Amino acid sequence: MKTINIAIDGPAGAGKSTVAKMAAAKLGYIYVDTGALYRAAALFITENNIPDEKIGTALKNSDISLKFIDGVQRVFIGNRDVSELIRTPEISMVASRTSAIPAVRAYLFETQKKIAAENNVIMDGRDIGTVVLPEAEVKIFLTASAEKRAERRYKELAEKGDCPPYEDILSDIIRRDYQDTHRDTAPLRQAEDAVLADTTNLDLEQSAEEIIRIINEKTGSES
Ligand code: DC
């Protein structure tokens, strides 16, 4: 059976995961967060102190995988569920650096292709429309200004009682944007046939509605 693949790319903090999750639930697709794979690779590399030149070989034995439990994605290293462990600022920074290494991207490429071949997916990442699923039925580039993304992240952390200075969050976002867009292998960029969705002035509900509208328009369905 031919599956329907929807690619959503964009910078960190644009709201991709929340918006893609909402749209996937509405449309009955599986939501795939590919950043989790890069974060799991970063965790594996950090925990095992693997030097850059040995990463390719080491990853072949890492057994990083995604499992969908009641439609919700969990990420595993072997039998160990690392879905929560990968969500630290340290792993964000390591993942941004190690995701630029071609051997890391090559290792995770097949995992992503296989999931998309077997399921109707909304897959979010940085190079889904450009490299992983160039034939995707719908491609969306979701973005927002760096200031707005920092503001959202600040509010999210403040609600959890964690209050790093706004300026630190903003400079982190700017640094990650730079790393993600300037790497040689599969840099973050809008695919030529992707629809641009700027969420700077939209809340999450409105962003999800906009995404669903684009998907319905492109796939010719309505809901
Ligand atoms: O979306 P995220 O912040 O969880 O992603 C973590 C890092 O992984 C990010 O710095 C960029 C990288 N990444 C990537 O290079 N390609 C993807 N398809 C997804 C994430």
Q: Is the CB of 199 under 6 A from ligand 1?
A: no
> Helix, strand, or coil here: 64?
strand
Cα of 36 from ligand 1 centre, angstroms: 7
Residues 38-90 pLDDT 10s: 999 999 999 999 999 999 999 999 999 999 998 899 999 999 999 999 999 89
Q: Is 170 exposed, middle or buried (0-12, 13-18, 19+ CB in 10 A)?
A: middle
Measured from the Cβ of residue 41, the count of other Cβ atoms closer than 10 Å reads: 29
The yes-or-no verdict on residue 223 having pLDDT over 60 is no
Residue with tokens 């809340």: 203
Phi-psi region of 138 (alpha: psi -120 to 50; beta: other; left: phi over 0): beta
Cα of 221 from ligand 1 centre, angstroms: 30
* pTM of the predicted model as reported, rounded to 2 decimal places: 0.91
- Ligand 1 atom with minimal separation from the 99 CA: 15
Q: How far apart are CA 19 and CA 16, in angstroms?
A: 5
Torsion, Cα of 45, 154, 33, 144 (10° steps)? -120
Q: Is the CB of 38 under 6 A from ligand 1?
A: yes
Residues 97-112 pLDDT 10s: 999 999 999 999 999 9
Q: How far apart are CA 79 and CA 69, in angstroms?
A: 14
Residues 49-63 pLDDT 10s: 999 999 999 999 999
Q: Is the dihedral of CA 108, 114, 116, 120 positive or negative?
A: negative
Mutate which of 16, 34, 112 for ligand 1? The one with the most ligand atoms within 8 Å of its CB, which is 34
Token reading at 87: 């969500």
Q: How far apart are CA 68 and CA 66, in angstroms?
A: 7
Contacts of 2-5 with CB under 8 Å at 24 or more apart are: 3/116, 3/117, 3/118, 3/119, 3/120, 3/121, 4/29, 4/120, 4/121, 4/137, 4/219, 5/116, 5/120, 5/121, 5/123, 5/133, 5/135, 5/136, 5/137
Residues 167-182 pLDDT 10s: 999 999 999 899 889 9
Mutate which of 99, 173, 188 for ligand 1? The one with the most ligand atoms within 8 Å of its CB, which is 99
Strand 72-77 and strand 80-81: the pairing is antiparallel
- The DSSP bridge partners found for residue 72 are 69
